[in-house]
Amino acid sequence: MYFDDIDNRGTAERNSDDIFSKPIRAGKRTYFFDVKATKGNDYYITITESKRRQEFDGKAAYDKHKIFLYKEDFDKFAQGLEETIEYIRKISPVQEEYEGKNNFTDVNFDEL
């Protein structure tokens, strides 16, 4: 999604220097993958994790954590991330969930 295509929801905190932005909603968190450019027109990525929390007064606040990823590190970062994800998938496979189905066995009451 290009920055110009982003709707008004949540854009107040977005920087106008984003060239490309891809928000990923994942449960209580949202991850933003933003492409930015330096003054010398060199591109880099910022990855931001944003998590909504409630203040004591009931107002919403956001905890944000950001990393900057420079293009000379893209390959090493991608390789490390891929290896880490594969490791986790190998030792802890994802449990498939069945939508609309339960784990109960059909019972024939005539047999009881």
Mean per-residue pLDDT, 10-32: 78
Q: Which two tokens stand for residue 43?
A: 């591109």
Q: For residue range 55-96, what is the model confidence (pLDDT) as tens digits?
A: 889 888 999 999 999 999 999 999 999 999 999 999 998 776
Task: Report the percent of the chain where pLDDT is more than 70.
Answer: 71
What is the per-residue pLDDT for 53? 87
Q: For residue range 12-22, what is the model confidence (pLDDT) as tens digits?
A: 345 557 899 99
* Distances from the Cα of 22 to the Cα of 14, 25, 71, 74, 81, angstroms: 12, 10, 17, 17, 18
Our CA dihedral for 98, 29, 65, 7, rounded to 10 degrees, sits at 120
27: left (phi over 0), alpha (psi -120 to 50) or beta: left
34 C-beta neighbours (distance < 10 Å), count: 20
- Reported residue count of the chain is 112
Query: Where do the domains of the chain lie, and which CATH numbers do they carry?
Result: 3-94 (3.10.450.700)
Instruction: Give the whole-angstrom CA distance, residue 103 versus residue 81.
Output: 34
Contact (Cβ atoms closer than 8 angstroms) between residue 63 and residue 48: no
